[in-house]
Structure 1
Amino acid sequence: MIVLIPAYEPDERMLELVDALDEDGCRMLVVDDGSGDDYQPLFDDVCSRGIPVLHQCSNTGKAGALRRGLTYIAGRWPGEDVVTADSDGQHRPHDIEAVAAVTAQGDALVLGGRAFTGEVPLRSRVGNAFSRMLFRASTGQRVHDTQTGLRGIPSSRIPDVLSVGGERFAWEMNVLMDFSRRRIPIKEIPIETVYLDGNASSHFRPLRDSLAVLRPMLRYLLVSLGSFVLDVVALQLLYVASGQLLLSAIGARVLSGVVNFALNRSFVFRAAAAGDVRTQLMRYGLIAVAMLAAGYAGLALLTEWGVPLVIAKVVADGAVYVCGFLLQRGYVFARRRDAPEELPAAVPALR
């Protein structure tokens, strides 16, 4: 087991964490994410303890530091599991070791989930609650702490993690989204909630990084909403032109379905290279037919009761649309679990 610690402009708390883990016999790797000359003495102290340090020439963000560390570990210590921990003292050694113990038991990504009890900064409490809600809405999976940096990665899952795109803090959310979509198991264990000095040491930029973290989920919801609006407008126009409810419903669904499939495949799920388009289209078509039948049944029933067409459309399709979201994510565009990208052949040297 290797504890991977990304650090950008750290303070003495990094040394305290390193010393505590060293006393417990943990092996570590620290990545200096372009902190600059002023912080070199701290990293020299880490090196003097026999702990390797990788230096980034410039600040690449947390994603860049973690990718570099994971790539190095996979090359130098193949077969070793990894636990990622922040350098600011918010992850206690006993929690790091607890995540490591669970990670060693299987092939699941293990999260150290904070309970957010006690004195938690408002921006952290609200941000995590919002992120948690949207993640569950987009994936159907419950994760209490989607933004935790304490994660256990089995050695077999390092290629899967490295295959995920994204930068800075958004990358950690992308990993959860990707694993959920590919049905790779995710476990969560409770850890202590620690915020020091009002979380002043965090390099998380509330507005900019929150938008980046939520971008994958927002893309999913935006495309689905746009397709739904297109379906409603097309239904109304076709019904006015033809006077045939069934024909109008089928035509509107075909049009919105083609647009939805293309955007979900290329823009939302980024699945253009992850599966055969014919298989994806066939699965999408089966789901679309089932949703069309359910939606039309509800639409016919509501209009028979005298509900205006547009209102009936919104109510009927709203009831079945959530199921369509989940089926597209988990079935139509699911990536194969056995198709991660290969690790880079070259291992970065210590600098």
Structure 2
Amino acid sequence: MIVLIPAYEPDERMLELVDALEADGCRMLVVDDGSGASSAALFANIERRGVVVLHQAQNDGKAAALRRGLAHIAARWPGEDVVTADSDGQHRPADIAAVAEATSGGEALVLGGRAFSGAVPLRSRFGNAVSRALFRMSGGALHDTQTGLRGIPASRIPEVLAVAGERFAWEMNVLLDFTRRRVPIREVPIETVYLDQNAASHFRPVRDSLAVLRPLLRYVLVSLGSFVLDVAALQALYAATGELLLSAIGARVVSGAVNFALNRTVVFRAHGTTGLRRHLVRYLLLACGLLAGSYLGMSLLIVWGVPLLAAKIISDCAAYICGFMLQQGYVFAHRARDAKKAPSREPFSFCARRGT
């Protein structure tokens, strides 16, 4: 097990964390994300303790630091699981150990989930609430989507490295990608720690949380484009044939085919021919189901005294949201490939071994 610590302009709290982990016999890798001359003495102090430190020439963001660290670990210590921990003192050694134990020998991504109880800074509480809500809108269900304490099994490192994104948004993209592919994600309760009102954090609560909205925004734009295409095709076919029913069916087939193709490739990024037939069958079944659900919902609302227009808007909006969530979580989802079984390991003992 390797503890990976990305750091940008850290303070003495990182030294305290390194000392505590060193006392437990941990192997660590620290990535200096372009902190500059002001932090040079601190990193030199850490290196004198025998800890490997990788130096970035400039501040490229947390995602770049984590990716470099993970790639280095995969090459230098193949087969070793990784726990990522922040450098600002928010992650206690006992919590790091708990996440490491939950990760060892498994295939799940493990998150150290905070309860956000007690004295939590307002911007952190707000940022986590926004991020959690947006993640649910995108089809996921996790309590703490912003935690930097994560356990990554060795077999999952290539999958994590393959996820696109920069800075803090990348960590959210990993969760979205794993959720879409149905890779198991576990949450382990950890202590909620904020020091000095979380002043050392470089996270931007609203801007970085809104990165999760990108798939939803693409979905909305594709839906609007499909609607415009449906209307244009209907007018063109009706002008050519004079048959309303035939024109309506033809227009829906054209717009539906385009909608399916764009949702599959642009919105949910299910590229390639693998699973094309399965995706198409699921898409057609979902379309029929949403149509029936919208009709039943509208009928019930009308029976309950809701005006027709309002009933139509409510039922269609509900169907639209369900359509997004089901397309991401079911229609265009695919099970992660079974990872190759790692070689048998010794019984877990957190940081019991040293060495490089």
Task: Quote the offset at 1:119 in angstroms.
Answer: 1.4
Task: Quote the offset at 1:262 in angstroms.
Answer: 3.4
Task: Quote the offset at 1:188 in angstroms.
Answer: 0.4
> What is the alpha-carbon distance in structure 1 between the residues aligned to residue 319 and residue 216 of structure 2?
20
* Residue of structure 2 in register with 1:260 after alignment: 259
> What is the alpha-carbon distance in structure 2 between the residues aligned to residue 231 and residue 302 of structure 1?
30
* Residue of structure 1 in register with 2:270 after alignment: 271
Stretch deviating more after TM superposition (101-110 or 264-273) = 264-273
> What is the alpha-carbon distance in structure 2 between the residues aligned to residue 231 and residue 94 of structure 1?
57
The amino acid that maps onto 1:100 is: A
Alignment of 1:29-40 (within 5 A): 29-40=29-40
Unmatched 5+ residue regions in structure 2?
340-356
Q: Please tell me whether the aligned partners of residues 115 and 193 of structure 1 are also in contact (alpha carbons under 8 angstroms).
A: yes
> What is the alpha-carbon distance in structure 2 between the residues aligned to residue 166 and residue 83 of structure 1?
20
1:312-346 CA distance string (max 9 Å, x none) = 43233334344433331123211441299xxxxxx
* Residue of structure 2 in register with 1:165 after alignment: 164
* Residue of structure 2 in register with 1:176 after alignment: 175
Q: Percent identity of the aligned residues?
A: 66
* Residue of structure 1 in register with 2:282 after alignment: 283
Alignment of 1:146-295 (within 5 A): 146-211=145-210, 213-219=211-217, 222-223=220-221, 226=224, 254=253, 257-273=256-272, 275-295=274-294
**CA distance 1:255–1:317, shift in 2 (3 Å):** farther
The amino acid that maps onto 1:282 is: V
Over aligned residues, Cα RMSD in angstroms? 3.5
Task: Quote the offset at 1:217 in angstroms.
Answer: 4.8
1:9-30 CA distance string (max 9 Å, x none) = 1111111100000101111000
Q: How many residues align?
A: 337
Stretch deviating more after TM superposition (82-91 or 290-299) = 290-299
Tell me, what secondary structure is at the counterpart of 1:169?
A: helix
Stretch deviating more after TM superposition (50-59 or 225-234) = 225-234
**CA distance 1:187–1:248, shift in 2 (3 Å):** farther
**CA distance 1:224–1:311, shift in 2 (3 Å):** farther
**CA distance 1:246–1:300, shift in 2 (3 Å):** farther
The amino acid that maps onto 1:117 is: S
Tell me, what secondary structure is at the counterpart of 1:25?
A: coil
TM-score, with length taken from structure 2: 0.82
* Residue of structure 2 in register with 1:44 after alignment: 44
Stretch deviating more after TM superposition (221-230 or 79-88) = 221-230
Q: Please tell me whether the aligned partners of residues 128 and 205 of structure 2 are also in contact (alpha carbons under 8 angstroms).
A: no
Q: Please tell me whether the aligned partners of residues 81 and 151 of structure 2 are also in contact (alpha carbons under 8 angstroms).
A: yes
Q: Please tell me whether the aligned partners of residues 216 and 324 of structure 2 are also in contact (alpha carbons under 8 angstroms).
A: no
Task: Quote the offset at 1:272 in angstroms.
Answer: 2.2
> What is the alpha-carbon distance in structure 1 between the residues aligned to residue 21 and residue 300 of structure 2?
65
> What is the alpha-carbon distance in structure 1 between the residues aligned to residue 173 and residue 69 of structure 2?
18
**CA distance 1:306–1:132, shift in 2 (3 Å):** closer
The amino acid that maps onto 2:169 is: A
Task: Quote the offset at 1:96 in angstroms.
Answer: 0.5
Q: Is 1:55 paired with 2:55? A: yes
* Residue of structure 2 in register with 1:100 after alignment: 100
Task: Quote the offset at 1:116 in angstroms.
Answer: 0.9
**CA distance 1:316–1:207, shift in 2 (3 Å):** closer
Stretch deviating more after TM superposition (248-257 or 261-270) = 248-257
